[in-house]
Homo-oligomer: A and B are copies of this chain.
Amino acid sequence: MDKATSDLQAEVDRLRHELQSLTIENKPSDNEEHITVSDYLLTRLEQLGVTSIFGVPGDFNMRDYIEDHPRINWIGDCNELNAAYAADGYARVKEHSIGVVVTTFGVGELSAINGIAGAFSEMVPVLHIVGVPSTVQLKTKPLLHHTLGNGRYPFDAYTKAAEQVTISQAKLMNKGHAATEIDRVLTDCITHARPVYLTLPTNMVGEQIPSRRLGVPLPRTPPANNPDVEAYVLEEIVKLVDAANQDIIILIDACAIRHDVRDEVNDLLTKTRFPVYSAPMGKTAVSEEHDRYGGIYIGSISDPAIKKKVETAKLILSIGALKSDFNTGMFTYSIPAIHTVELHSDHTLVRHAQFPGIGMKLLLPKLTAHLKQYQQGASQLDVPRFKLDVPKETDERITHTYFWPRVGKFFKKRDVIVAETGTSSFGILDVPLPDQSVFLSQILYGSIGWTVGNTLGAAIAARDKNLGRVILFVGDGSLQLTVQELSTMIHQRLTPIIFVINNDGYNIERNLHGMERKYNDIQDWKWTSLLTTLGDLDGTLSKSYTVRDKASLDKLLDDAEFAKAGKIQLVEVVMGKFDTPRALKAAAELSAKNAEKV
C-alpha cells in the first residue's frame, strides 16, 4: 500500500468512526455480538499494540480482566507514581502504541498524577484508567474510603485535578455510551500524544455492550491540512530555501519523535542531504551516526563549532521544536525568526507568519518532494563529525569529563539509554549515541526519580520490540525517590544495567542553588545491596559493583559478561561531590543570571 492509499484508508476509517458515533449508539440489535466493557477497552488497547498494563491493586478496578487477558500482561508496580512513570516509559519506547496505568480512585490516582503531568508536559500518550465506585454510589455518595470525607466527593475533586493534566476525560456512567467514550479518549490520546483519563465504575466493568465498533480501527491520521494554505506555505518555504543559497540546516526536536514524523524527517534528510542538528530533547530522533548529523544545539551552551554552524545558517528548518529552558540552553537560542521555518504538529511558522492548522505530518512529505532538487548543492556543505573522545586524565578519580565519553564507547546499536534529570541528562548530551539507539530523558518536566519507573516501562517495551540493552543513569539522590521499582524489574526478570552516580546528594540542586547546603545532602545507602534486598533473595538474579576509579570502570565496561546484560546489574559509580558536567554547570549559571534579572 503506497502512502497516498494508506492516507485515504486512514481518512475512511476516521469518517466511519464519526458516522458510527452518530448512528450506532443506542440501537443494539438483539442478535449482534456483545462484549464486556473491560474487554472492549482491552481489545482497543490490543489494537493499539499494548501488551502490558501497569498499576497497583485497589478495590475498585478492572484488573481481573487484565490478568485473564491472553495477550496483555498486568505489571504490578510498587506504587502508583512509579506505575505512571512506567507507562510513560513504555509509550516512549513503543512508538505508535500508548502506555496504560490502572489505579484505584483518590489515593491511587492522586499518587500517580505527577507521572501523568509529566506525560502531558512532554507529550507522551498515556491512558490513566481509574477504578471508581459504582454508578449508584457515585450518585448517592456514601462516605466511602478513599474519598475526601464530608468535604468533597471524588467526582467533583479528583476529576477536576485530572482535568489539569490530561487532554481528555471520560466518565463511564452508562453502558450505552461506553464504547464511544472509550474510543473518543483513545483517539485523543493517539492523535495528540498526550495523556487521557477514564473512570470505570465497579458495576460498569462487566457490563455487556455491542462489539461492532471494534471492527473499525481508531483513526490515527491528523485532520487534513487546508490545501490552499498548505500550497501557499510550501511555496513560501521553497522561496526561502532558494534564497538561502544552500546555507540551510535542519534542527530537530522532541515533537518530531512525539508526533511521529521520524520517518518523514529521515526521508527529507535522505533526499535533500541538508545538515541536521538536534536539540537535547530531539536526541536520537535522527541517527547520531548519520553522515549529515552534526550534533546537539543548545544555544550558548553548545559546542562552539556547532553553535556557529546553526546560528549562521541562512535558513533553519526547525522540526518539532519545544523551546523549554533546559532544552534551549536557558533560552539562549540565537536564531532570528527571519531565518526560521518552524514545523509543528498543528501549525507552521514561516518567519513571522503563523499558519494554524497546517501540521507537519502531512506537510513534510510534500516539502520533501519540493526540496529534493536542492540535494546536489546541500551535499557540498560540510557537517562536522559529532564525536567525543575519551580524555587522557592523570587523576584516577572518575570525573564527569571522563565518565560520559567512556560510557559512550560502551553503547551498542539498539540500546535503550535512560538518563535522569541532572548530572546524567546533561552529562550524556555530548555523547554520540549509536544508530538505532533510543534515548529517554525528561528534560522539560524534570521530575527527579522519573527514570527508575520509566526504565521499567522502557525495558518491558524493549523486550516486546526486541531492542538491545536498557541502560539507566541515575544519581543517588534521584534513585532514592523511586527505588522500590528495582523490585518490579527483578520480579519481571528484566535485565537493565543501572549506573548509580554516587556523589553524596542532589548535584543538580547544588548547582542551581545551595552548593554547600545541608539540605542537598542525602543519607548514603549500601547501593550494592539494593538488588538483593529488594528481591534477588538468593543472589542469582542480579549482580552489583562499585567502581571508584577509572581503571575499575574501564575494566568493568570491557568485561564481556557484564556487557551482555544477562541479569539485572547495578554499578555504583563513586564521583566527586562537586564535580558536574560542563553543560549542567553552564545551564545553572545561566539560570542564576535569569533569576537575577527578574
Residues of chain A touching chain B, judged by Cβ–Cβ distance below 8 Å, are 56-59, 63-64, 66-67, 74, 76, 78-79, 81, 106-107, 110-111, 113-114, 117-118, 120-123, 134-137, 142-152, 156-158, 160-161, 163-165, 167, 194, 202-203, 322-326, 331, 421, 443-449, 480-484, 487-488, 490-491, 506, 509, 512-514, 517-526, 529-530, 532-535, 537, 591, 595, 598
Contact = CB atoms under 8 A, between A and B. Distances in A.
Nearest to A131: B513
A64 B142 contact: no
Contacts of A445: 106-107, 145-149
17 contacts: A56-B481, A59-B513, A74-B519, A76-B519, A120-B151, A144-B325, A149-B322, A151-B194, A158-B164, A161-B161, A161-B164, A480-B484, A484-B484, A487-B523, A490-B523, A526-B532, A526-B533
A232 B449 CA distance: 58
Contact of A506 (B57, B149, B163, B509): B57
A444 B149 contact: yes
Contacts of A58: 509
Given A144-B324, A148-B121, A157-B164, A59 B534 contact: no
A511 to B, nearest CB: 9
A533 B533 contact: yes
Nearest to A116: B110
Contact of A534 (B123, B506, B525): B525
Contact of A598 (B137, B148, B157, B449): B137
Contacts of A483: 483-484
B506 A523 contact: no
Contacts of A106: 117, 121, 445, 447
B145 A325 contact: yes
B487 A484 contact: no
B481 A79 contact: yes
Given A480-B78, A591-B59, A595-B134, A488 B322 contact: no
A306 to B, nearest CB: 22
Nearest to A75: B519
A66 B151 CA distance: 32
Contact of A480 (B123, B144, B324, B487): B487
Pick the most buried of A123, A147, A591: most chain B CB atoms within 10 A of its CB. Answer: A147
Contacts of A534: 523, 525-526
Pick the most buried of A142, A143, A145: most chain B CB atoms within 10 A of its CB. Answer: A145
Contacts of A535: 523-525
A138 to B, nearest CB: 10
Contacts of A525: 487, 533-535, 537
A445 B152 CA distance: 12
A526 B114 CA distance: 29
Contacts of A142: 325, 331
Nearest to A597: B136
Nearest to A328: B143
Contact of A509 (B57, B491, B522, B530): B57
B480 A145 contact: no
A67 B529 contact: no
Given A63-B517, A121-B147, A148-B121, A449 B79 contact: yes
Given A79-B482, A113-B110, A157 B165 contact: yes
A258 to B, nearest CB: 10
Nearest to A539: B526
A107 B74 CA distance: 27
Nearest to A521: B76
Nearest to A492: B523
A58 B510 CA distance: 10
Task: Give me the 5 closest cross-chain CB pairs, A-B, nearest first.
Answer: A107-B447, A110-B114, A136-B598, A157-B164, A491-B523
B81 A325 contact: no
A134 B593 CA distance: 13
Nearest to A490: B523
Contacts of A526: 532-534, 537
Pick the most buried of A57, A161, A163, A534: most chain B CB atoms within 10 A of its CB. Answer: A57
A121 B157 CA distance: 12
A517 B324 contact: no
Given A149-B324, A448-B107, A519 B63 contact: yes
Contacts of A448: 107
A67 B516 CA distance: 12
A64 B517 contact: yes
Given A164-B152, A534-B525, A67 B518 contact: yes
A526 B595 CA distance: 46
A319 to B, nearest CB: 15
